[in-house]
Amino acid sequence: MTTEGNAGWWKRREAAVALGVGSVHQRFVTAGDNAELTDVEGNRLIDFATGIAVCNTGHTNARIVAAVKRQLDQFSHASFQVTPYPVYVELAEKLNAIAPGSSPKKSLFVTTGAEAVENAVKIARAHTGRHGVIALRGGYHGRTMLTMAMTGKVAPYKAKFGPMPGGVFHATFPNAYLAVSEDAAMRSIEDLFVADIAADDVAAIIVEPVLGEGGFYVLPPAYLRALRRLCDEKGILLIADEIQTGFARTGRMFAIEHSGVEPDLMTVAKAMAGGFPIAGVIGKAAIMDAPGPGGLGGTYGGSPLGCAAALEVLKIIAEEDLCTRAERIGSLIRARLERMRADGFSALGDIRGLGAMIAVELVVGGDPARPDPDLTRAIVAKAGEAGLILLPCGMRGNVIRFLPALTAPEAVIGEGLDILEAAIGACAAKFAVPA
């Protein structure tokens, strides 16, 4: 705990940190323990955000800390492209073995999720000899220039930063809640082939099996299977962006497993190393080998500390059965939200998700066509004041997402939901709009 409070640190932050770096909560963290954080004033915070789906295995997990310390005692950096090290190869072997599908796999490691997405596009272009990329509206793939173009949301990610790189196109995301059918979504891809880019110029179609920043809408399994058939027919690679959905969050190791679809390439990051920076691309071996030596990599790519942490994360997920645990946590959150809605909180619209990747849409009078972003912001702020860290999301800014640690005790989950219910009750009347 420091001697300066949150308000003082916020004042210093405003003076020292660029305006474009946003923060949802004005709390400055000094410690973390499993599903909880402590701020500079000693306040206990229940964390339903986990650093945006990073700490699936909890904050400062003792096993991960020990694994990183062992690696740190040996060496912290050597650059795999100069002098390779065993922990990188071992992690690649483990991920290749558990990646969806029966095709032989290979992996590469970088540092950030956006970097992984850019490398997946590079690989797809090298393999196919094509340039085009199709993403879905509402998808989030990063903030670098190429991934920003691929991200299907303008504010705040693209505003003021254009022009965007060429060769990137957006198709419709199927969304039953907002009356967008799977057939309409598939037709939007065919429309791109007619009006914007020939199918034989498209290198890849990239999808999040569950939209992250876009609102936690789940891609229907039938749509993913239809997309797989389309890609096979047109010679297009299918990339699954599992950066937010991966590593047991949805009740499977990777969310695309719910559909039975094998992607050609898959990007991973976030929860991969329990809080240490590492990301990667896992894909079919013949595709991964399309770029020649030197075409892929980065100075810090596959940090030995990140690799050591990631190997321990994989052991924890398996030994503690965190996929099953995700299903249990998700069912607790979903049941509580549904009970609140049944008890008269009509602002709670669609409740959705997979495993412990759950969201609720805030709407006026239960009407999907009337989003309520003001109420959403108010609930997130009120809950934060009471000690619960939440994250908003969604194309319309009216979704609250729930991403607690998969190692969180059920009592802590329940305590957090009590705070949420009180926050909704306090805000709902204030922001009530006549139906």
DSSP state string for 196-229: T--GGGEEEEEE-SB-TTTT-PBPPHHHHHHHHH
Say yes or no to pLDDT of 43 above 60: yes
* pLDDT tens readout for residues 4-17: 899 999 999 999 99
The helix (run of H) or strand (run of E) holding residue 123 is helix 113-128
The string of pLDDT tens digits covering residues 357-378 is 999 999 998 899 999 999 999 9
Inter-residue contact 228 to 173 (CB < 8 Å):
no
Residue 15: is it exposed, middle or buried by C-beta count within 10 angstroms (0-12/13-18/19+)? Answer: exposed
Tokens of 395: 């194309």
Taking only the tens place, the pLDDT of each residue in 304-348 is: 999 999 999 999 999 999 999 999 999 999 999 999 999 989 999
pLDDT tens for each residue of 189-227: 999 999 999 999 999 999 999 999 999 999 999 999 999
**Model confidence over 108-142: pLDDT tens digits?**
999 999 999 999 999 999 999 999 999 999 999 99
What pLDDT was estimated at residue 432? 63
Choose among 81, 89, 111: nearest CA to 272. Answer: 111
| Side-chain half-sphere exposure of 234, counting CA atoms within 13 A | 23
- pLDDT for res 430: 73
pLDDT tens per residue, range 284-300: 999 999 999 999 999 99
Query: Cα(190)–Cα(197) distance, rounded to whole angstroms?
Result: 10
pTM of the model: 0.96
- Residue-range domain boundaries for the chain: 6-60+321-430, 75-319
Beta bridge partners of 110: 279
CATH of domain 75-319: 3.40.640.10
Span between the terminal Cα atoms of the chain, in Å: 47
Q: Which amino acid is at 295?
A: G
pLDDT confidence tier of residue 69, bands split at 50, 70 and 90: very high
Under a CB-based contact definition with an 8 Å cutoff, are residues 234 and 205 in contact?
no
CATH class of 6-60+321-430: alpha beta
Angle at 301 (CA atoms; ends 65, 87), nearest 5 degrees: 50
**H or E element in which residue 105 lies:** strand 105-110
pLDDT at 2 over 80: no
Tens-place pLDDT, residues 394-432: 999 999 999 999 999 999 999 999 999 999 999 987 766
> Residue 160's CB: how many other CB atoms inside 10 A?
7
Percent of the chain with pLDDT over 90: 96
Percent pLDDT > 70 in the chain is 98
Interatomic CA distance for residues 123 and 154, integer angstroms: 26
pLDDT at 428: 82
Angle between helices 182-195 and 221-234 in degrees, nearest 10:
20
Strand order, beta sheet including 168-171: 105-110, 279-284, 265-268, 237-241, 202-207, 132-136, 168-171
Average pLDDT, the chain: 96
Amino acid 431: pLDDT? 67
In this prediction, residue 434 carries a pLDDT of 52
Judged against a pLDDT cut of 90, whether residue 383 lies above it is answered with: yes
pLDDT of 433 higher than 90: no
Pairing type for strands 44-47 and 105-110 reads unpaired
